[in-house]
Amino acid sequence: MTIKRIILTLLTVVVIGRLVLSLGNSFSQPQIQARLELYQTNLVLQVSELQSDDSDALDSEDLAAVRKALLGDDPYFSAQKQYQQVRETAQTRLSEFRAQLQQVSPEATATSGQATNPMAQAPNVSSQQIRQLENSLRELDLKIGLLQAQRGEIEAAFTTWQNLTPSSEEETSPEAIPQTAATLMGLWREPPRVLPNAESQIQENLNGWFRYRALSRLYQSQERPDALQTLQAQEQEGAKQALVKLAVISAVPGLGMLLGAGLLIFLLAQLLIRGKNSVLATNSGVAWETPWDWEITWQVLIVGFFFVSQFVIGGILLPLFFGLSGINPASFGIRLQAFYILVSYLLTAAGGLLVLYLSIRSFLPLPKDWFRFQWLSNWILWGLGGYLVAVPLVIVVSVLNQQIWQGQGGSNPILSVALQAQNWVALAIFFFTASVAAPIFEEIIFRGFLLPSLTRYLPVWGAILASSLVFSIAHLSLSEVLPLATLGIVLGVVYTRSRNLLAPIFVHSLWNSGTLLSLFILGSGAN
């Protein structure tokens, strides 16, 4: 074995170890999907308060029909059920975390006579994670109580809030949630009891529909008709905006599902009828002429993408730079966070592309169809078609995937940051990162290089499957493996048929843009 292969083998062991560790860490992490569903539920609750107006285009019957179609018969019950399901998942995860932290190694105890540090037995769980989950549970209970009160379940709401209020020895507790719970209990008593700073507590610790309901109860208790009338006007305006947002995030995927399913059926039918002359059969069995062997492919993937790009630059050099400079990216505002993510991504992409270039430089000029960017072709049609087909396939797989992971398995951490990006500058930076930089870099690596390289040893369909699996694992979240592998298959089919990297880049860009749009719309309804 050569020195080069020994080094590649060692780096492969390091990369595999890091992948296993990262995927293992993601197992206990919540998916962002649960938060997105709650954000959508909050929009539903806001729309549920929409009332018809003589000046509105919708009369009362039309409005009732629209509300029923979007919200169902009892939106409060549906929302309460959704919140309780999320709470049960969070409570289960909290119990698991606490159990892991309390584990004691029998061997260590027998040797030393003392319990070992629980954190040594649960490296993937921290006390900070437990505190975050505890706070999330309290926030959920605060809102569940409001939903119960809205449905007339006052005793159940009091029981929910009672578990959040401080005991008599802790009445001076500075924690916001217990004080807000006490404020709500006072408002729903008969007669109501308005606590000091009730309005500021509600304004600071509740949002959206929950804030409107609590403030409405407060102003009624205080007999402030002017404030109540202003609040109701604000609520109606917010409900109209929420209706538009809900329609967009519901109608666009629905339309994409219908168009995509229709296109997929057409393509499959054409394949059965026309065989080799069908669109899907175009270049389906034509492999690339690959001048290098498996060692170069191995080198680019392991050294370029995983080791240099993600591990050295993303995992060592950037954190070391900020550590030595005394700068903490976690303290950045949303604009600086977006810029930090962009710069980090560009640096990691540059490292990966540099290794790719150095690895294949001796084989230049490359045979036909390698890294082909042909602007004057039908790549836009391939891109639109690929995106439409991807929508129903990925959505169906995602629904099944949710049943497997039950809200766990982690998500891309950038999504959580992007969800808070209610700032046009930050949103523009996120858009460039996710919809321009990421598609170009990832498609060059996984479709432009890896997939064609694999066709030297695998049939085209096998190369598509293998490259899609690597593509999905590279995102380091267990819950995203199946959906991203499905997307990767569509990207691979589009590329092998079109022989133009612009086509899968366009599909990838459309997909990420749609995700960002949904995050922005849902995030804008959180306040």
pLDDT (tens, 9 = 90+) of the chain, 527 residues, equals 688 888 889 989 988 988 888 888 777 676 777 778 888 888 888 888 877 665 454 455 555 565 565 556 678 888 888 888 888 877 877 787 777 666 644 444 444 444 433 333 344 555 666 777 788 888 899 999 999 999 889 999 999 998 886 544 444 444 788 889 999 999 999 888 988 888 998 998 888 899 999 999 999 999 999 999 999 999 888 888 888 888 888 788 888 899 999 999 999 999 999 988 999 998 888 999 999 999 999 999 999 888 888 888 877 888 788 778 777 776 777 788 888 889 889 999 999 999 999 999 999 999 988 999 999 889 999 999 999 999 999 999 988 888 887 666 667 777 777 767 667 888 889 899 999 999 999 999 999 999 999 999 999 999 999 999 999 999 888 888 999 999 999 999 999 999 999 999 999 999 999 888 888 888 776 55
For residues 23 and 476, what is the distance between their CA atoms, to the nearest angstrom? 5
The H-or-E segment that residue 103 falls in is none
For residues 242 and 210, what is the distance between their CA atoms, to the nearest angstrom? 14
Cβ atoms 493, 464 nearer than 8 A:
yes
Single out the residue of 347, 350, 352 nearest to residue 308, CA to CA.
352
Residue 123 pLDDT: 43
What are the CA-CA distances from residue 466 to residues 20, 146, 454, 455 (Å)?
18, 49, 8, 10
Residue 72 pLDDT: 62
The b/e string for 498-517 (b: 16+ C-beta within 10 A; e otherwise) is bbbbbbbbbbbbbbbbbebb
Tokens (6 digits) for 182: 């006490």
Cβ atoms 44, 78 nearer than 8 A:
yes
H and E: helices and strands count for the chain: 23, 0
- In this structure, the dihedral spanned by the alpha carbons of residues 199, 200, 202 and 208, taken in order and rounded to 10 degrees, is 110
Cβ atoms 280, 266 nearer than 8 A:
no
Residue 99 pLDDT: 76
For residues 32 and 409, what is the distance between their CA atoms, to the nearest angstrom? 10
Single out the residue of 250, 481, 437, 220 nearest to residue 345, CA to CA.
437
Torsions phi, psi for 294 (to 5 deg)? -65, -25
Alpha carbons within 13 A on the beta-carbon side of 402: 12
Residue 110 pLDDT: 45
For residues 164 and 179, what is the distance between their CA atoms, to the nearest angstrom? 8
For residues 253 and 258, what is the distance between their CA atoms, to the nearest angstrom? 9
* Helix 208-221, helix 127-150: angle, nearest 10: 50
Sequence length of the chain is 527
* Radius of gyration of the CA atoms of the chain, in A: 27
For residues 128 and 137, what is the distance between their CA atoms, to the nearest angstrom? 14
Residue 75 pLDDT: 82
Burial degree of 68 (CB within 10 A; 0-12, 13-18, 19+): exposed
27: helix, strand or coil: helix
Peptide bond before 392: cis, by omega within 30 degrees of 0? no
Residue 93 pLDDT: 76
Question: Which residues have C-beta within 8 Å of that of residue 432, sequence separation ≥ 6?
Answer: 342
Cβ atoms 138, 206 nearer than 8 A:
no
For residues 47 and 69, what is the distance between their CA atoms, to the nearest angstrom? 12
Any idea what DSSP says for residue 459?
-
> Using one digit for the tens of pLDDT, what is the confidence trace for 435-455?
999 999 999 999 999 999 999
For tokens 């026309």, what's the residue? 274
Burial degree of 87 (CB within 10 A; 0-12, 13-18, 19+): middle
* Helix 32-48, helix 60-71: angle, nearest 10: 160
| Count of beta carbons in the 10 Å neighbourhood of residue 410 | 22
Helical spans, DSSP H, in 275-423 = 294-299, 318-325, 334-360, 379-405, 413-419
Max intra-chain CA distance, the chain: 85
pTM value surpassing 0.85: no
> Please, what is the Cα angle at 37 between 31 and 39, to 5 degrees?
110
* Helix 32-48, helix 502-524: angle, nearest 10: 50
Residue 119 pLDDT: 32
Residue 494 pLDDT: 96
